[in-house]
Homo-oligomer: A and B are copies of this chain.
């Protein structure tokens, strides 16, 4: 461990995967994963850690300082070393790690993929954005691509030979995707081929020097299309055409200078400006938004991973620093000028900061890997009802994974800076970069405000509240079973109270909405999101503590004993230090205050 290096808590990842989710048992029955066992999973994690520590992390800081550059031909150059790190990733199969082997992937199950994603993203978030988009485009094409496009693209994307982008945003159409104005005009005599015109902004990886080709997925509006999202179609726009390899007319005309994530090229992409831009439609005209949502949902969970990954890396750095840095004497020696100074991990306020970071990271990890497990069952269970049940859960959790993990992850990064004191503010240590890189995650892939509205306005209302009812029932069962364990009675009682206060807030907001007061309800979307996330992470702390307590009861010793004891302590800390906020948020939501809507304000 080191205060300037890249550290990963493999022990905790393995606890989640093998002791909590039991992937090695519960997924063994699926043909898809039959070849894997725990040993192979562990070796895979070890190797991913090696690559990220030895190859990716060394380019993370320098890449931030150097940033990307753009020449006048629209060519983006990524920071020194990114290409080599990209190639190492590609050669190891780390682009398509969850993809099927027939598409060039390793075929790992999603929860293990989460751990790998956490490592790559944490070691160099800027570089990881390019691969995340390659995966997203490939996964979308697996479902919606005509066969010839699938054959042309998917393996190339999953093996890192090609890159991908998603092109939604325009200058006047960010959160409001339906205001897209890019035009798609059918080319006569070429079925499904269009000329695209318009300008897309904030396009991650709009150009780069890492891959041979780039597959842009572009939302645009065909002639006569209605306004709003219903009029949007989606097009595959290759940088170099599939047939003759000719340069297509999608050119980068600008790159943004950002607060962080400087090695990730955020581009202005002009379509059909310098030369004609050909695009191949997916599905039919008007299907664009529905198809793009396939990628967006996946991307939202991936952004949640970014929240976790930066937080975990920042926490590991802060922990290492706190164990190295000598400063001040122990509290009991405060009045003794000759007392020997101690490492700061001994100071209560530093331990409080470390504990907040630790508990946040470990409960987020549990939630994200757990959601990935449910994703597997939602896709591969034999029973349709079981698939549906897990699908419902994933749908409800998606905005929470995105918003809560990025907000809380940012808080962790900020706390890591604070742990370093003045050294946290300078580039010599990595934590200030974690803060800057991480900030974007609460904004892109739908701002966290949009996620909150998705949760409250869409997911909570779906099927007359069926998703939430299912969650209430499941979490109720979890709490009932926990009570039977005979452990943690106080903590379980507090969690029950918090879960009930979440239910009460949901009921209250349902009532506000039913009275037609949409604004009053939506005003509470973000606090409701935070409340929901706070309760869920508490339940994850409980789930882990129960497993740990059983291991302690069974006589765990040495470093195992310390590990399991840590999980029990996590629960106690979470309940005393995080959970009271849930009750406060519920109270705040139910107060019915709408003062900020008053028109006297913000004139």
CA A561 – CA B448 in complex, angstroms?
34
Nearest CB of chain B from residue A519's CB, rounded to whole Å: 5
- Is residue A186 contacting chain B, with contact meaning CB distance below 8 A? no
- Is residue A256 contacting chain B, with contact meaning CB distance below 8 A? yes
- Is residue A486 contacting chain B, with contact meaning CB distance below 8 A? no
Q: Of B425, B519, B588, which one neighbours A440 at CB under 8 angstroms? A: B425
Q: Of B329, B410, B421, which one neighbours A447 at CB under 8 angstroms? A: B421
22 A–B pairs (Cβ distance < 8 Å), ordered by A = A169-B422, A176-B327, A176-B329, A256-B426, A258-B432, A266-B426, A319-B602, A331-B519, A348-B519, A352-B526, A418-B448, A418-B449, A422-B443, A436-B436, A527-B577, A562-B601, A565-B598, A566-B600, A569-B601, A580-B585, A580-B588, A581-B584
Q: Which residues of B contact A337 (CB under 8 A)?
A: 178, 226-231
Q: SS class of chain A's interface: helix, strand, loop or mixed? A: helix
A259-B436, A566-B601 are known contacts; what are 7 more A-B pairs with Cβ within 8 Å?
Answer: A331-B522, A354-B596, A354-B602, A358-B601, A418-B443, A569-B600, A581-B581
CA A86 – CA B266 in complex, angstroms?
36
Per-residue contact bits, chain A 503-524, to B (CB 8 Å; 1 contact, 0 not): 0000000000000001110110
Q: Decide yes or no: A349 and B453 within 8 Å by CB, A341-B176, A341-B179, A580-B588 being known contacts.
A: yes
- Is residue A587 contacting chain B, with contact meaning CB distance below 8 A? yes
- Is residue A175 contacting chain B, with contact meaning CB distance below 8 A? yes
Give residues of chain A (440-487) contacting chain B, Cβ–Cβ below 8 Å: 440, 442-444, 447-449, 452-453
Q: Which residues of B contact A428 (CB under 8 A)?
A: 256-257
Contact status A348-B522, CB under 8 Å: yes
Identify the 8 closest CB pairs spanning chains A and B, nearest first.
Answer: A228-B337, A355-B596, A580-B584, A576-B593, A259-B432, A176-B328, A584-B584, A576-B591
Give residues of chain A (563-591) contacting chain B, Cβ–Cβ below 8 Å: 565-566, 569-570, 572-573, 575-577, 580-581, 583-585, 587-588, 591
Q: Which residues of B contact A442 (CB under 8 A)?
A: 418
- Is residue A417 contacting chain B, with contact meaning CB distance below 8 A? yes
Q: Which residues of B contact A231 (CB under 8 A)?
A: 337
